[in-house]
Amino acid sequence: MESDMKHAVVRWNPATRQHFCTHCGRTSDAINFADALEQLEKYDCAVPSIDVAMPEPGTETIRLNRIKKLPDST
């Protein structure tokens, strides 16, 4: 494997029928190893934060601000 790969160790999980990165846990449902690796390489190999949702690469996102409702004064 090349050293410039983001996901250095990718394994096959026969129970879930998915390839997965042993470092970050990201999975690919591609059966072929080369296809799975290509799909995984779109993402950085880092443990994702629970607080931050990561959009798929190449997609645009819009930040929405949550508005708190004030209690009714009636």
> Quick one: which of 46, 43, 47 has its CA closest to 59?
43
Of residues 51 and 47, more confidence is placed in 47
Task: Check whether 65 has a pLDDT greater than 80.
Answer: no
Q: What's the per-residue H, E or C state across 4-44? A: CCCCCCEEEECCCCEEEECCCCCEECCCCHHHHHHHHCCCC
Residue 26 domain-assigned (yes or no): yes
Structure-token match 């879930």, residue found = 16
Residue 71 domain-assigned (yes or no): no
Q: Tell me if the pTM is above 0.85.
A: no
The total of structural domains in the chain comes to: 1
Q: Tell me the pLDDT band of 55, cut-offs 50, 70 and 90.
A: low
Task: Check whether 3 has a pLDDT greater than 60.
Answer: no
Domain housing 16: 1-64
Q: How many residues does the chain have?
A: 74
Residue 74 domain-assigned (yes or no): no
Residue 72 domain-assigned (yes or no): no
Residue 73 domain-assigned (yes or no): no
Q: Are 33 and 21 in contact (CB under 8 A)?
A: no
pLDDT at residue 32 in the model? 94
pLDDT at residue 13 in the model? 92
